[in-house]
Chains A and B, each alone.
Chain A
Amino acid sequence: MNDMLSLSAGLPERRFDPADTVVVEGGSAAAIWVLVSGALEVSKNGVAFNTVTQPGALVGEISVLLGVPYGATVRATTPSVLRHAEDGAALLDRHPAIARLVAVGLAERLNFVTTYLVDLKQQYGNAPGLSMVADVLRELSQRQAPPARPGSARDPDPDY
């Protein structure tokens, strides 16, 4: 991710005080942010589920890539500095090295979350509510490219 800091050196910087909002869940996404220093809290539906402190970490790249609104709210929890590209899509199109780093980061996150879910399922396989994990893993397999039809269906009456 330090590579991302050097690659994004030309982007404008902005400072955030604690509790300042970087992106809002549901807000239209065009910009990609790069954390230079500080700490960020990621929350969804008002529930915080992640913190980001690693310099070079990206915010908003998934929403820009998919062309969907931001999926979570990101706030600064300490005085923070972020760089931003107003047109995130153009940034990825112009800089293959940045696009490559973004893809690497996403692949690492996908591997991490998948491994975590598999561990969770294997470790707590009999615990109530963990059927959700199986559903999530099943859902993962449905995210396929056309033209084939997904191979499984989502639980129509999930416990959680």
Chain B
Amino acid sequence: MTGKIRVALIGNPNVGKTSIFNAITGLRQHVGNWPGVTVEKKTGKATHKGTELEITDLPGTYSLAAFSKDEIIARDYIIDESPDVVVQVVDATNLERNLYLTTQLMELGPKLVIALNMSDVVQAKGDKIEISKLEDLLEVPVIRTVGSQGEGITSLLEAIVSVANKPKRYDLELTYGKEIEDKIVELQKELQQDKELVAKYPSRWFSIKLLEGDDNIQEKLALSSVADAIRKKLETMDIERLESQIADKRYRNISTVVSQVCNFSKRKMTSSEMIDRVVTHKVLSIPVFLTMLWAAFEITFSFATPFMNIIDLGFGWLAGSIASTIAIPWLSSLIADGVIAGVGSVLIFLPNIMLLFFMLALLEDSGYMARAAFIMDKPMSKIGLHGKSFIPMLMGFGCNVPAIMATRTIEDKRDRLVTILIAPFSSCGARLPVYVLLAGAFFGKSAGSVIFALYALGIIVAILSAKLLRGTVLSGEASPFIMELPPYRLPTLKNSFMQMWERGLIYLRKAGGIILVGVVTVWLLAAIPAPGTGGTFASEDMYGTTDSLIGYLGKVLDPLVSPLGFDWRIAVALIFGFVAKEIVVGSMGTLYGAGEDEDRLSDILTAGAMSPLAALGLMVFTLLYVPCIACVGVIKRETGSWKWTVFQAVYGTGIAWLFALIIFQVGSRVGFLT
């Protein structure tokens, strides 16, 4: 075989598929989206003995039924793109359930290779799996791998290349017994009438899926000329009973295989079980949970600080030295206050974002995230949500954009929509600089408590909003909770670093350009004279004052924000915060004439430019109002609806305005903070 081999990687969740993918491709990866949907698609390249391989990582699935979007994507990819080889990553410690997917893959008919992952764990337990026997029984190459250590990857690549060069086999299916087999043949005969259909889908597989009552297959059938005839036949069959029987047969076949190849030692209490006795304990679980979250955040923020300081100092120096070498005032101002300040405000969050994703990867890979969902399901179900909704909400504290994307693990559409709509209330990393600046300037030693209270407020608003939505526009039955609790595993640094790196790049790509454009736009608006003032472009005495275009814009909005204790500059900064929330700080710096020097900005603000109450209101407003443009874009893509996107924006901004109004009006009347 010449040319590159296209390989699809598939497997159950939590089997170490990502570590196999990373071990094969290294840094030669690309993260994109599946066409038409927004499920993340990872592809990567590898070379084995001169043969080029292109690897596509399919979403983690338990089955190839059409239960979730992920399953349909995986199955359609195998049918439509017909990859040269499909590699199923199998968790050796959980052979039975993993082989269920294998039986379905065999029916779908691609060339298959099995990576028997986590083989070291099996060995450590004193268990044994006879790989050669498994190969014989399944008639599929089985390669022993330990993805986290990179073990067995070369053999896996070897097997992929060798299988790709062999002719395809068609005799891998298991049999379902006479009753079902007869029905399969009956349906197959009918399906053969539609040549186009059978050219695209294996007719046996298609028939089995029909007998299983697969909705997605019914949709595919609807376009066929034999649709009516098939439906008539199906009506005479008891699909509900057949569906159970087919699953049962598959598992029975698997049991036969497993009993022949596995040699399990006597079960002792595993370390996983011991850990679970503590972390899911009736009393201990909640403090353990809070401690884990606190530690994750503490590490994220305290480790990030020195890096942030370096970036801050570096860009300050750069702006200063460039400004002094350019003689043309407007150009010097554009480069120093616009471009360099803009790039600086993009990069400053990189340490925070990367560290947070590093911590989240550790929690996820260790298996603790699933316990968090297990512990939190009861309270989450009280607000009409799923324990799984907790994870995106938690991720929202890093960045709302991936949080909203993470909601796709939630199967129920309404649950998912509610979670998307409330996720922006999780206070993301980009809002933190606004809090750091204002709380630091106005609340001194209590700054930490104020910031903590803001995070708590975000959670409370999210909870109340979920309850409100669940009780009104998105009411209905709660969705089922069926979740695997994977054994605890030592997370590998490599995977966590890869995750961190990937998220860092996504942030730079997704947010970098937008933020830069935003900051330069602020500079331009501040540099262009307002109509009728006759000032000079970018002149120092007009820049950012009421005589500039931006001041003019702020004045128009003044009546709306003055009841909140804000002035026109804040209105302008908030408008540009829509581009990216951290720009609120950058544009306040520009508008108050402090440039990107945050200390100077704090001095100016506390010297009377703003009252402590208004500062508190501004932090709350920043927390709750319309999320950044990237986030709104993701909401639109994920909900597929402008209606819900606009709803979120208007709802958030409305609440923000109301809260800031209450804080300022009530606060100043009762003399709080004055």
Does B associate with A? no
Residues on B facing A (Cβ under 8 Å): none
Residues on A facing B (Cβ under 8 Å): none
